Structure 1
Amino acid sequence: MSLKAVFSKHTLHFKFEAGTSRGVLTEKDSYFIKIFDTENPHVFGLGECAPLKGLSIDDRPDFELQLLSICEYFNTLDLEVFSWNLSIILDQVLDKSFPSIVFGFETAMLDLLNGGKRVIYDNGFHQNQRNLPINGLIWMGDKEFMLRQIDEKLAAGYTTIKMKVGAIDFEKECELLGYIRKHFSKDEITLRVDANGAFGFDTALEKLKRLSEYELHSIEQPIKQGNTEIMAELCQTSPLPIALDEELIGMKEYPEKYKLLKKIMPQYIILKPSLVGGFQQCREWIENANRLKIGWWMTSALESNVGLNAITQFAAEFANPLPQGLGTGQLYHNNIPSPLVIEKGFMTYQAEKPWDLSILNFLV
């Protein structure tokens, strides 16, 4: 008895040009990890490694070769996985320099431990006893495109809207926020914005003051990550709550997580397991945030339904009432069919809808 890992590459194609302050996305590569016991290969765990171009620390030209090397090394170790040794494997076998690979392996091993049925955490969400509130995401584009998205999300029943800012003219972005506030109060619709680090140091506070006029819930990453002193000052002086996102990338050890949060003291942090290194790392961030009374929520990093399913089940492990950023499963023409369904701003798990993994071509 020993575990074996193989992977399959699948390119996801967006239904539209998805604009961010870092550019426009039309497709995204994901690598799916399959882990199984050689004596029972038909039962397998499935995970997803999905680094984000230009953002993940493991976004590098040789990613696929590195993934192959990690799988080959993993396959030489004659491992078995149990609940008690999973954390040991994650710490001592996998390289933290590849957070999306750690996330993929962690998900696949948790799935295998639960019988290879895409059950990562067997909780109320998977059992269809609890639905998770999520925000509706408005992608960047021209004003008309963004306005159309806003209307669609409001018509679909979302009560929390998240809008990307920082790419088009700032005044036009304010007009869009004003359009929502003209029709819905903050008690009716919660508004979040995400700058992806687009604001300049000299104009950030001025823009935060302007945005606060629209009674926003928060802004994600107003300036580029790595500018700790300036970010700390903004968090102290901004009239608008600030959430750290990209700032968390690359922080691998528990003490440095606490040091960063204590230094900056944001109002919120946002956790993307593919970017921070999986659920074990997320738990460390959550524990540190709780110690400092900092709020948090989970966000997907444009994974397919495989990764999204895992993140949603993990989020359901906590009694966190905040809407999660988990509405990205509808982005792709060729996503993996799954039981995940969004209804009126809630992520639901409808077990009667089967998983269809036929588009994933594993070598074994």
Structure 2
Amino acid sequence: MNTTNLKFEIVPRTLQFRFDAGTSRGVLRSRNIWWIKAYDLNNPDQIGWGEAAPLVKLSPDDRPDFEVLLKEILEKCDGVAWPSEEKEILSLIKEIVPSELPSIRFALEMAVLDWVQGGKKRFFENSFFDEKKAIPINGLIWMGEREFMFSQIKEKLDSGFSCIKMKIGAIDFEQELELLSYIRSQFSAEEIILRVDANGAFAPNEALEKLKRLSELEIHSIEQPIKAGQWEEMASLCKKTPLPIALDEELIGCQDKVGLLDMIQPQHIILKPTLVGGFDESRIWIEKAESRSIGWWMTSALESNIGLNAIAQLTSQFEPMIPQGLGTGKLYHNNLESPLEIQSGKLVYGNHAWETPS
């Protein structure tokens, strides 16, 4: 088996949002990411790129010493003889990077697989990159003042999206219902799919009543209606709910995949590779979910275009038919220029050149 010794470098960047991005956990205006550069001293022009992007207040590895930990792990990797086969690479990375550092795992998976594949920002065989096959995505509506949310809805509908996802739980629930009612009054459930994401904002004792009111608007699904970690309450909700529930934050840091899925029995799960540990862990979640007839879709976690590209390629391996949550590439003033484009509610790998991270 051929092996290669790679060197690694860190290229940090602070991404600046184009607007105040409101969630039930607060408003985001910027976020820090760390690009990972992998190369061989004997072939320095071939470079693999990865991205470590822990999400503030959500990622298990959102911690003040993150960059120190990242440097320590990459120093360990300097002496590693990297195999050329994907399965062996992913297995080795799991040995090197503990599960409580999921974004570092994902970054290393990206960088090494990209390098092995020739440094073209292609990680494995997939129709998104290889065949330029578009991926359907939802249009994301951020929390904010009623007028701001209304303008986002109009912009998404005018842009040709057939699936709208609205974050709820930060403003008055009646106002949120009013906005959703407006969309539904203009478009039937066959014309526009409506998803909502509560980010755990509902109290367990009020959640079911709110789900009933949302179901009257023919909502496709609701993500994480109550805070993660309340398995019994969530299991009860999933059993009684009038509209499908998708677990999101519930998956983060969970080592007992089978236990969680079997106890809660959700209708769907949401996969964020940066938060659950990368390519390999995401595939395991999918296998466990599909074997239980639980639906799933993939969502980015506000990564730059480097991370978004990796998530899109992973998603496309499963030939998704329903819209995915991959519409975050236009969020930042200073994102990396890339071939990723949004066309009529779909993510496309176009013909633009990649900007070199710096």
TM range (shorter): over 0.9
Q: Does residue 130 in structure 1 map to residue 129 in structure 2? A: no
- Give CA-to-partner distance per residue, 1:81-106, whole Å, 9 cap, x none: 43342122122112221000000000
- How far the C-alpha of 1:38 sits from its partner, in A, is 2.2
1:313-352 correspondence runs (5 A)? 313-350=313-350, 352=351
**2:224 corresponds to which of 212, 221, 225:** 221
**1:53 corresponds to which of 56, 64, 69:** 56
Partner of 2:22: 19
Q: Does residue 199 in structure 1 map to residue 202 in structure 2? A: yes
- How far the C-alpha of 1:194 sits from its partner, in A, is 0.1
Partner of 2:162: 159
Distance 2:310 2:82 in 1: 23
Kindly indicate whether the alpha-carbon contact (under 8 Å) linking 1:81 and 1:109 is maintained by their aligned counterparts in 2: no
Q: Does residue 232 in structure 1 map to residue 235 in structure 2? A: yes
Q: Does residue 179 in structure 1 map to residue 182 in structure 2? A: yes
Distance 1:82 1:109 in 2: 11
Question: Which is further off, 35-44 or 162-171?
Answer: 35-44
- Give CA-to-partner distance per residue, 1:108-159, whole Å, 9 cap, x none: 1111111001112332211344111000000000110000000000000000
Q: Does residue 356 in structure 1 map to residue 355 in structure 2? A: yes
- How far the C-alpha of 1:80 sits from its partner, in A, is 4.6
Distance 2:312 2:127 in 1: 11
**1:28 corresponds to which of 31, 52, 55:** 31
- Give CA-to-partner distance per residue, 1:19-47, whole Å, 9 cap, x none: 00000000011100111122112101101
Distance 1:98 1:81 in 2: 24
Distance 1:342 1:299 in 2: 15
Distance 1:115 1:154 in 2: 39
1:88-127 correspondence runs (5 A)? 88-127=91-130
Distance 1:319 1:126 in 2: 13
TM-score normalised by structure 2 residue count: 0.97
Question: Which is further off, 117-126 or 296-305?
Answer: 117-126
Distance 2:329 2:193 in 1: 21
Kindly indicate whether the alpha-carbon contact (under 8 Å) linking 2:83 and 2:89 is maintained by their aligned counterparts in 1: no
Q: Does residue 140 in structure 1 map to residue 131 in structure 2? A: no
**1:248 corresponds to which of 251, 256, 264:** 251
Over 3 Å counting, the alpha-carbon distance change for 1:43 and 1:23 in structure 2 is: same
SS at match of 1:154: helix
- Segments of 5+ residues of structure 1 without an aligned counterpart are none
Q: Does residue 289 in structure 1 map to residue 292 in structure 2? A: no
Q: Does residue 267 in structure 1 map to residue 270 in structure 2? A: no
- Give CA-to-partner distance per residue, 1:51-89, whole Å, 9 cap, x none: 000000100010011101111111133445433421221
SS at match of 1:151: helix
Distance 1:25 1:178 in 2: 27
Q: Percent identity?
A: 55
Kindly indicate whether the alpha-carbon contact (under 8 Å) linking 2:238 and 2:244 is maintained by their aligned counterparts in 1: yes
- In the TM superposition, structure 1's runs of 4+ consecutive aligned residues that sit over 6 Å from their partners are none
Distance 2:130 2:80 in 1: 35
Over 3 Å counting, the alpha-carbon distance change for 1:63 and 1:171 in structure 2 is: same
- How far the C-alpha of 1:8 sits from its partner, in A, is 1.0
TM-score normalised by structure 1 residue count: 0.96
Kindly indicate whether the alpha-carbon contact (under 8 Å) linking 1:49 and 1:101 is maintained by their aligned counterparts in 2: yes
Aligned residues: 355
Kindly indicate whether the alpha-carbon contact (under 8 Å) linking 1:2 and 1:80 is maintained by their aligned counterparts in 2: no
